[in-house]
Structure 1
Amino acid sequence: MDPKTSGYQYDQKGNKFRIKQLKTPQTQDAKLGHLHKHYAEHPSRGLTPAKLAGILQRAEQGDLIAQCELAEDMEEKDGHIFSELQKRRLCMKSVPWKIVPPRNPSAAEQRDTEMLQELFEDMTFFDQVLFDMSDAILKGFSNQEISWHQEEKIWLPQEIEFKDPSWFRVNPNNRNELMLRDHSETGEALQPFGWIRHVHKTKSGYVSRNGLARVLAWPYLFKNFSVRDLAEFLEIYGLPLRLGKYPTGASPDEKMTLLRAVMSIGHNAGGIIPKGMDIEFQNAASGGKDPFEYMVSLMEKTESKAILGGTLTSQADGKSSTNALGNVHNEVREELRDSDLMQLASTLTRDLVLPKYMLNCRSFEKPSRSPRFEFDITEAEDMKAFSESLPGLVGLGFRIPRSWGHNKLQIPEAKGDEEVLTLPGAAAENDNQEQKEAALKKQAITKIAALKQKSSTDVADLYSKQLADDMSPVLKNFTDEIQQLVDSAESWEDLQESLADLNLSVDEATEVMQQALVAAQLSGQHEVNEGN
């Protein structure tokens, strides 16, 4: 029974579900309404080492709320973390992608792959989907809900909406399975075909320990201690000490008046006190900002290493920041980008390409024959060096496929009658050659018709006779020129020199032979078509 007509469909694991469920997002269910009313508690406020350790421990036990909200706070409050994460996330949006068919595809699989490519290209919000998937780099996972609709019997995502990570928990029976937070102990399983579930592997371990947030939390905490201490130092110890003196027997009101004057005079640069009271300004406490700046700088370098694998693509200290080291660090960042893209491609193949393929394509037989989503992460070769080295390799006998050269240089191959680039002289020469070949074919066809009208004898004999007749004038011209040289030569040496200097034109003879060969080929094709 066809699942599309029976109302049922099968997911990637072979589990049956009702296809009408695709039209209703799972999170619109009334029993999950409490998730829409959840607001962050910002656990970064008053963060201490003990509090941070408790947050990380609860996440390991399945409660991801505080850890995900702390990651949000870190990205919002720490400009350095935000900047480095943006570099890693945004660089993936500019990489070209494509849908590729399975190995050794059939004609139907090739057609369906091309259709899927067009469907993906028409998704105007696809760039945002990629960006939201990369949020898993920090938090360890990213879930986006798919809302499906039908257009002329084709199932398409109407909307793909990013859902807050705090909506999810870990299944206590399977610590790598994310569930929606309902009021049960395990949570509710995610609906088949309804989610893009991206788990990003920054390190090995359970899903609750994958994200960079756990690595960045400690540098973030220590950096904020230093920033707070530096602010206090600049506010208090950078200013001179104000010391108020009140006379013996001063009343509590007089003491309070003096205290208010001392506290406000540093900010207002003025104040009044009763006669008999004194305010003295002592030298500011000794110290400096260097220890605080060193701690902040050290923690920011640690954050850069964790996110981008190095520091020289984000900051320079003027000492060790050479161009060579910068290039090495940039290569490390490219390796991280390529790894991120391969993980994104795997998730998109499973959660978006395969559902579209199963719902819309007739060539679907099993998930293992699904088309794949791929990013083109190959770097184009140096075109000048490539063009200089390839002719030498071909001359040595290397059999190099043309498609390999196109892939290396990132140059697409022309399809069908698509115009191609040519050299100006080569284009004119090609046009002349095509015109010449057309004229030869026309002359040959005319000769075939004339020969068949004259006689019913063997056509091959007629062609031989015709070729001999056409070549006689040409050969006679050759013999006449040579006869003149023989008659005028005074010695054998003179004849040899004259023959060496003789420049016989073979253009006419070449044209006659070309006509004969074309005529023979066309005649053979005609005989085969007639069944003779």
Structure 2
Amino acid sequence: MVTPQILGPDGRPITRDILEEPQTSRVAMLRHEWQGHPTRGLTPSRLAQILDTAEQGDIVAQYELFEDMEEKDAHIASEMGKRRRAIIRDYEILPPPNPSAREKRDAKQLEEMMTDIPDFEETLFDVSDAIGKGFANLELAWHRVEGLWIPASITHRPQSWFKLARGYRQEILLRNGGQGEPLQPFGWITHTHRAKSGYIERAALFRVLVWPYLFKNYSVGDLAEFLEISGIPLRLGSYPPNASEAEKATLLRALVSIGHNAAGIIPEGMKIDFKDAASGDPAGFELMINWCERSESKAILGGTLTSQADGKSSTNALGNVHNEVRKDLQVSDCRQISSTLSRDLIYPMAWLNGLAPGGIRRAPRLKLTIEEPEDIGQYAESLPKLVGMGMRIGRQWAQERLSIPEPDEGEDILTAPAAAPATGLAALTAQPARQPVGDPPAQWVPRTSRAVGPAVTDWVDQIRGLVERAQSLEEIRDGLDTLYPNLSVDDYALRMAQALTAAALAGRYEILQEVAGGDGR
């Protein structure tokens, strides 16, 4: 018997040996590498150099810069947090299109296995790190649980641990001090997320944010310096012409002490004058800071009114428009991440556990639920009308629109209560319930309904035409008087008489049946 090969997402065969230990456990240099902080003393020329170096293949400094930006700029951290946490949604494991019974069972089993993955919400958040930085790599460590292959851990690795190799297509390699190692199949979740087209190192969203970050950093520093100078009065010390160097130093120490401690001493013959604090307007610095934060919000969330980056109140209508843009970003992010997780997490789990016999094309897939539930009340009112008009509406489509999951086999299902029995004429026109074939009343109800149906329909048509032509209630009243002779009441009375006769005969029949039963016959 030939053992089937395991094929990676790229179609290349792999062996289970590579699942025994994570790939980074064999590259010790990365664990002893300390993070740099390029934002310390960052200047425009230094920033341009970091970006140019990344384009030439050395991406370490660029991604260390991105880490610093997210750590030091509260506005970037806040806006990126909104966008990244927006993708932490409920999920479902779906079978491939037109699934067989086995493919449905495999998807259901895989969904149950997903509950064994520790802290899957953290995994979703870590994968979304690619939104700002262009790519994110999460390393998988596998173990066996009751005979099933399940990820024991899913660990985010810094972007500075990798290098980008250009070729026919760009490849992400693990740094090893040389040319780099290809990422081990079934060992990584690799998500690329481009803010614009191009090579990964230039397509990262943070490349757009580096200049607003730098300008804002300068403005914040200048504003802090301005406030320090303008908040403390200028102090001038005077010393006599024959003062020694030691006396001058004593006077200078006194000036500094007075500024910070509001107290000090000076030799006799010297004096200190206090001048007005420096005058100026900090509005220019604040204007620059606000412009930088608005630019950051536009780049991250597609607008400013969902973040109040302009510092002003906004109208509800404009806020809703900007929020719709933000929803578009959420939908796009969720779809991209769903595709990556389906390829790098769901397919390996399915294949290793024998749940993807048809390969990656027929493997189950993960879908983040991004659709908001529709108004059930509106659908409950409109769907019966649409179905009554002859529209063919799939049950699965309706359940997806209302976010109602497909019930499991054998699960209790809600059913509509039995309708109350109709009375009067409605009882004759209503659809009869199923009755035993030999029951005479049950046989005469539909017959009577069909008999009086033409007469009743003729009445309704004549009255409807009268109402449509009438201009007032009085005209309808007078029209009914004139319409009465045209109504076939005699025909209706004849049919009802037949129905009453049938009812009387049915009653006698039931009495005879009871008598026969009482005699034992």
Q: TM-score, normalised by structure 2?
A: 0.80
Aligned counterparts of 1:356 and 1:412: Cα–Cα separation in 2: 23
Given that 1:62 and 1:175 are in contact with CA atoms closer than 8 Å, whether structure 2 keeps it comes out as no
Given that 1:3 and 1:9 are in contact with CA atoms closer than 8 Å, whether structure 2 keeps it comes out as no
Partner of 1:484: none
Given that 2:141 and 2:151 are in contact with CA atoms closer than 8 Å, whether structure 1 keeps it comes out as yes
Given that 2:229 and 2:278 are in contact with CA atoms closer than 8 Å, whether structure 1 keeps it comes out as no
**Aligned partner letter, 1:147:** A
Aligned counterparts of 2:82 and 2:344: Cα–Cα separation in 1: 26
Given that 2:294 and 2:309 are in contact with CA atoms closer than 8 Å, whether structure 1 keeps it comes out as no
Q: 1:378 aligns with which of 357, 371, 377?
A: 371
- Aligned positions of 1:415-494 closer than 5 A: 415-421=408-414, 426=419
1:214 deviates by: 0.8
Q: 2:94 aligned with 1:100, yes or no?
A: yes
RMSD, aligned α-carbons = 3.1
Moved more, 335-344 or 384-393: 384-393
1:247 deviates by: 0.8
Q: 1:364 aligns with which of 353, 357, 362?
A: 357
Partner of 2:36: 41
1:2 deviates by: 4.1
Q: 2:54 aligns with which of 52, 59, 69?
A: 59
Aligned counterparts of 1:41 and 1:235: Cα–Cα separation in 2: 30
- Aligned positions of 1:31-430 closer than 5 A: 32-93=27-88, 95-173=89-167, 176-184=170-178, 186-315=179-308, 317=310, 321-361=314-354, 364-421=357-414, 426=419
**Aligned partner letter, 1:25:** P
Partner of 2:22: 25
1:497 deviates by: 6.4
Given that 2:294 and 2:310 are in contact with CA atoms closer than 8 Å, whether structure 1 keeps it comes out as no
Q: Give the number of aligned pairs.
A: 453
Given that 2:138 and 2:157 are in contact with CA atoms closer than 8 Å, whether structure 1 keeps it comes out as yes
What is the percent sequence identity of the aligned residues? 51
Q: 2:10 aligned with 1:13, yes or no?
A: yes
**Aligned partner letter, 2:185:** P
Aligned counterparts of 1:496 and 1:337: Cα–Cα separation in 2: 65
Moved more, 104-113 or 360-369: 360-369
Aligned counterparts of 2:103 and 2:186: Cα–Cα separation in 1: 21
Aligned counterparts of 2:209 and 2:370: Cα–Cα separation in 1: 28
**Aligned partner letter, 2:194:** K
**Aligned partner letter, 2:337:** L
**Aligned partner letter, 1:50:** S
Given that 1:142 and 1:197 are in contact with CA atoms closer than 8 Å, whether structure 2 keeps it comes out as yes
Aligned counterparts of 1:38 and 1:390: Cα–Cα separation in 2: 62
1:495 deviates by: 13
Aligned counterparts of 2:418 and 2:31: Cα–Cα separation in 1: 69
1:362 deviates by: 5.5
Cα deviation digits, residues 316-365 of structure 1 (max 9, x gap): 65756100010111111111011111111111111111112222126513
Runs of 5+ consecutive residues of structure 2 not aligned to the other structure: 423-432, 445-488, 511-521
**Aligned partner letter, 2:21:** T
1:36 deviates by: 0.2
Cα deviation digits, residues 4-51 of structure 1 (max 9, x gap): 6xxx6332333233311111111111xx11100011110110000111
Runs of 5+ consecutive residues of structure 1 not aligned to the other structure: 430-435, 445-466, 476-492, 514-532
Aligned counterparts of 1:495 and 1:80: Cα–Cα separation in 2: 83
**Aligned partner letter, 1:159:** S
Aligned counterparts of 1:267 and 1:254: Cα–Cα separation in 2: 20
Moved more, 72-81 or 406-415: 406-415
1:374 deviates by: 1.3
Given that 1:11 and 1:17 are in contact with CA atoms closer than 8 Å, whether structure 2 keeps it comes out as yes
Given that 2:194 and 2:204 are in contact with CA atoms closer than 8 Å, whether structure 1 keeps it comes out as yes
Taking a change above 3 Å as real, the CA distance of residues 361 and 496 of structure 1, as seen in their structure-2 partners, is closer
Cα deviation digits, residues 451-501 of structure 1 (max 9, x gap): xxxxxxxxxxxxxxxx6xx869x99xxxxxxxxxxxxxxxxx999969856
SS at match of 1:37: coil
Aligned counterparts of 2:264 and 2:139: Cα–Cα separation in 1: 63
Q: TM-score, normalised by structure 1?
A: 0.78
Taking a change above 3 Å as real, the CA distance of residues 494 and 190 of structure 1, as seen in their structure-2 partners, is closer
